[in-house]
Structure 1
Amino acid sequence: MNLNIQIPDNTALIFEYMQKGQFICSNSTDIDLRDMYNMIDENYESLYQYFSQINYTLERGNEYFYFSRTESKTTLEQKILRAYYWIDVLDFFKTYDETFGAGFRFQPEQILVEANINVLLQNKLDGIRKHFSDKDIRKDVLDNMIRLLAKESFIELENEKTNTYKVLTSWHYLEKLVDSINIFEDIEDEKPE
């Protein structure tokens, strides 16, 4: 164990932010978060070692950082249920616009207008309703999704006047989650060509 690790002065701020389960993204609209991203990027190895001493693993994604920890079985089951939710959310937004991803900008009102004319989008939004037991109105379901995405630092409110949100690079985490699911097809019923 090397106790002579050089760590940045603002390491406490990084820890306080990320220990809540939030991401630090390179394309954040918040300059302080972009500065933290650059600080982590420049000092990744020393910060990785430093945080590992307190049982946090500093993870590097595609233009984002986050903490992971070894979880108990109960927490793992909760994570699986949470993954179902994120898969539904990703599917919903990709149905809205297949280019939806890091850097994408949107207004929730535009999504609701599209959901009113697109039956597939309506069905997906209605399907997400199961994750919010007390919500009956599509607007409430979408508002809750947006609020949770912002809280989990997957999106940020970029312009309050126009209610425009920006998708952060941490969105890659959700895409990676879905991409990591392997589905093996049953090949017994296939006929050779």
Structure 2
Amino acid sequence: MNLPKQTGDIFEELSKGRFISSNSMDQTTRMLFDIIDENYQELYDYFLHIGFKLEQGQEYFYFSRNETKTNLERKLEQAYKWIDIVDFLKTFNDSFGVGSRFSASDLEVKLQMDVTFKMKLNSLRRTVRGESHREIIENILTEMCKDRFFELENSITGTYKVLASFKYLEDLIMSINIPEEIQNEIPE
């Protein structure tokens, strides 16, 4: 098996639960994306052999694994959090998605003008720490950058860029199927 010399770097990134996106501003990340793209089958086979499944999305890569019940519950909690964050961001802008650019200040301005947006941010208090709206927004941005869904594009203006890996979250949400017979039920 002829593996690229960057296999260790790829493993280091993906094993932390991060994504490698094609539209990252980081040159190393883009290079790793290209290497995976060119050597996908070899890397897929190698990582599968050591217990990791290399997954390919639209312009991003990530690892998945068979999970224990405890890990699965933790991942479900994280998915719920992501769903709430995506809902919050889509309320900010219906077309919010891959390639979007925005700043924390943009979100704060919207808070002053949109009661629904403010309610959604307040509902995030149960999963995102922060005393003030600004702290909650900053913690969301920090977390989304850490998970490699966003990157800080310009530190002077505080502009963030939404990476291709954000499509994973959108696809996750779209894959949720609620049967018609329970759609209108009121939870107890």
TM-score bracket, shorter-length normalisation = over 0.9
The within-5 A match list for 1:168-179 is: 168-179=163-174
Quote how far apart the aligned CAs of 1:136 are.
2.5
Residues 21 and 29 of structure 2 are in contact (CA less than 8 Å); yes or no, is this contact kept in structure 1?
A: yes
Residue segments in structure 1 that go unaligned for 5+ positions in a row: none
State which of 175, 184, 187 in structure 2 corresponds to 1:180.
Answer: 175
| Distance in 2, Cα, partners of 1:172 & 1:76 | 21
> Structure 1: how far apart are the matches of 2:173 and 2:73?
17
Identify the residue that residue 41 of structure 2 maps to in structure 1. 45
Name the SS for the 2:96 alignment partner.
coil
Report the CA distance between 1:185 and its aligned residue: 1.3
Contact 2:100–2:161 (Cα < 8 Å) also in 1: yes
Aligned to 2:151: 156
The answer to whether 1:81 aligns with 2:77 is yes
Deviates more, 1:75-84 or 1:151-160: 75-84
Q: How far apart are the structure 2 equivalents of 1:165 and 1:31?
A: 17
Query: Match for 1:61 among 57, 64, 72?
Result: 57
Aligned to 2:31: 35
For structure 2, the residue ranges without an aligned partner over 5 or more in a row are: none
Aligned to 2:96: 100
**What letter matches 1:171 in structure 2?**
F
Q: Pick from 130, 137, 140: which aligns with 1:142? A: 137
SS in structure 2 of the partner of residue 186 of structure 1: helix
Distance in 2 (alpha carbons) for counterparts of 1:135 and 1:166: 23
Q: 1:11 aligns with which of 7, 11, 28?
A: 7
Identity %: 45
User: Retained in 1: the 8 A contact 2:43–2:54?
Assistant: yes
TM-score (norm 1): 0.92
**Larger of the two Rg values belongs to structure:** 1
Distance 1:33 1:135 in 2: 30
Shift of 1:135: 2.3
Listed one character per residue, the Cα deviations across residues 129-153 of structure 1 (whole Å, up to 9, x for unaligned) are 1103x52211111111000000000
- Match for 2:51: what amino acid? N
